[in-house]
Structures are given as C-alpha cells and as structure tokens.
Amino acid sequence: MDGTLVDTEPAWIEAEYALAERHGGTWSQEHALQLVGNDLLVSGRYICEVLGIAVPPEQVVEELLDDVVASVRREVPWRPGARELLASLRDAGVPCALVTMSYARFVDPILAGLPDHTFAAVVTGDAVDRGKPHPEPYLTAARMLDVLASECLAVEDSPTGVTSAEAAGCTVLCAPLHVPVVPGPRTVLVDDLTGLTADSRLPDQGSLGS
C-alpha cells in the first residue's frame, strides 16, 4: 500500500520528524529512508535507538499512526495508475489481496476511497507475527485467497517488500518510489502503474491477470 498504491512516505517522514522533536531528539532523511517498507515495530525500535528514548516501540508506532492517519483522512495521495489497475483487475475477476505493514486503523481510510470488494483479503502489519521482509505476510495473503504464493503477482515499491514477496515465491512487479530496487530473477521493474491493466504482459511472465 504505502509507496505502491499511495505515496504516504512523505507523511510518515513528516510524522517521524515531529516525533523526534517532541522527544527532544534529531532525525534525518537518511534514517527515514531506512524504514521504508519495514514492519512498524521494527521501525519503532529503530527510532527509539536513534533518538535514545526510553519509551516502548509500540508507543512510537501509535504516535506515528496518529499523525499519518490524520494526514490521509485529509487527502489520499494515490499513485499514478494505481486505482485504474485495481479497477481493471476487479473487472477481469482477478482476486486481489492488500498486503501492507501499516496497521488496520491506517488502512481503513485508504479502503474507504476504493469500491467495495476491491480486495478479497487484507493483511496488515498488526495481523502477522513476522512482517516484511519475512515471507509471512504474502504467504498469509495467498492462503486467504486460497491459492499458492507461486501463483501470485506481488506489486511492490521497496527492497523490503520485494524480499518478502520473492521469499514467499511470488513473481514481483515493482514500481520503485523513494528507494532504489535491484531487479531479480522474478522481479520486473516499471516506472509506475500508469497504463497497466489485467491484460498487460510482463516480460517472460504472462499477463497481470493470468
């Protein structure tokens, strides 16, 4: 979701700077980019370590979520082509799952901007034991769709997400945004999702809807 369907990374980064200021610490763009795609508790621990603050990482995550949820409730920053691709897949009868390390309360306002039944399954970071880059999120989504992960195409934007999807056995379509991604044997890179449909063909992989 973050960075793939919506460009919420600027909101997360702004929230990180605000949190650092509240706790009397300093933050940087370099630190912020280290967190892209991570499990939120992993990010929370990283922030605590960098800022040198003795608060539970769960509290850090909730503080960040408060700020970012407020941001997306004001405006959802959709990435180019994202909603159109989802609509094409829905019209073609291709079951889709949302796999995100964001928590359910952040996902809800994003889903509210999409037609009902856009996703047949939703896996959030607070619903798995091990987040990305571990394969559990994608394996969970495939199980919920009643398919094998090897039969799935994951759409990603970050190295952490790509690692998770590839480890699960998925083919990956990656539109990098804030951090570079190195192409792998099962990863196809595109600039963004503009113009892609269920009938679009990937090199050596068949169509998105197959």
Assigned fold of 82-199: Rossmann fold (3.40.50)
In this structure, the number of other CB atoms found within 10 A of the CB of residue 206 comes to 11
* CATH superfamily placement of domain 9-74: Putative phosphatase; domain 2 (1.10.150.240)
Average pLDDT of the residues in 23-35: 93
**Sequence ranges of the chain with CATH classification 1.10.150.240:** 9-74
d(CA 4, CA 192): 9
pLDDT band at 208 (very low <50, low <70, confident <90, very high): confident
Contact partners, residue 205, CB within 8 Å, separation at least 6: 153, 171, 188
Tens digit of each residue's pLDDT (9 = 90 or more) over 36-47:
878 889 999 999
**Sequence ranges of the chain with CATH classification 3.40.50.1000:** 82-199
Report CA-CA distances (Å) from 187 to 59, 69, 111, 184.
35, 31, 26, 5
Q: Provide the 3-class DSSP secondary structure of residue 170.
A: coil
Tens digit of each residue's pLDDT (9 = 90 or more) over 151-200:
999 999 999 999 999 999 999 999 998 888 988 788 999 999 999 999 99
